[in-house]
Amino acid sequence: MDIGVLTGGVSMPEGMTYARYAHRGAYPLVATALLAGVFAIATHKMIKANKFQQKLLYLWLGQNLFLVITAVYRLSLYVEAYTLTYLRVAAFIWMLLVFAGLILTIIQIRQSKKIAWLVRSNLAVLAATLYLCCFVNFAYVITSYNIQNANTANRFDERYICELGEQALPLILEQDQKTGIRMCMGYHYGRPIFEPISDWREWGFRKWRLQAYLGEKLHR
């Protein structure tokens, strides 16, 4: 079914939602990725001199790589149908980390590197990913995607956007101006509140930029 859906020749089976389809791709990925890593570490010395066993392990790792690709595609369909959230962004990042880990495992086997190298390399990839994520304004990214895809998505969760916090305010204000309808005016939720910087300890680059933007907006 995955191959059929990936190539666009097969539609979802009756009763299968995008949410269930995405979850069915994510859960096996956890088990197989862990198994692949543990098995590669456990059999590192055993298969070192056996080319046939190495090829079998490459085949298994290749299947796991394909599983990651299909899981990412499942998740992209899920996001297309139900928009973006923090958890779905985290799922994308986690799947990319799994993909990188499998590639590093193949390199480790191919080049006969030590297990310590594999552990250090995975930790380095994890640290680099966390570092890069510090520079991404995820609230802005999520709001931008959800608003841009509001016309095509089956569901536009305005409440979720309004609860993303002050970093979503610029796009909320732009949407107000574009549509002439004020967002975040629901009965159970309201517009994010921006607290101006009043002390040097509250200073942050994103908060400073947001304060400058809102100040410019008010003086127009």
Per-domain residue ranges of the chain: 2-133, 138-218
Query: Is residue 104 a contact partner of residue 44, using CB atoms and an 8 Å limit?
Result: no
If one counts every other C-beta atom within 10 angstroms of the C-beta of residue 152, the result is 9
Based on its alpha-carbon atoms, the radius of gyration of the chain, rounded to whole angstroms, reads 23
Round to whole Å and give the CA distance between 65 and 169.
39
The per-residue pLDDT for range 95-131, each reduced to its tens digit, is 899 999 999 988 988 888 888 898 899 999 999 999 9
Query: Helix 18-42 to helix 86-110 angle, to the nearest 10 degrees?
Result: 30
The alpha carbon of residue 178 and the mean position of all alpha carbons in its chain are separated, in whole angstroms, by 29
In the chain, the percentage of residues whose pLDDT exceeds 70 is: 81
The per-residue pLDDT for range 60-77, each reduced to its tens digit, is 888 888 888 888 888 888
In this model, does residue 6 exceed pLDDT 80? no
- Region of 195 please: left (phi>0), alpha (psi -120 to 50) or beta: beta
Residue 182 banded pLDDT, cuts 50, 70, 90: confident
Round to whole Å and give the CA distance between 158 and 207.
23
- Collect all residues with Cβ–Cβ distance below 8 Å to 171 and sequence separation of at least 6: 140, 143, 144, 147
Round to whole Å and give the CA distance between 72 and 77.
9
Please choose, from the candidates 58, 72, 54, the residue with its C-alpha nearest in 3D space to the C-alpha of residue 2.
Answer: 72
Residue 153 banded pLDDT, cuts 50, 70, 90: very low
- Region of 47 please: left (phi>0), alpha (psi -120 to 50) or beta: alpha
CA angle (138 as vertex; 208, 133 as ends), nearest 5: 90
Query: Is residue 169 a contact partner of residue 129, using CB atoms and an 8 Å limit?
Result: no
Query: Helix 51-82 to helix 86-110 angle, to the nearest 10 degrees?
Result: 170
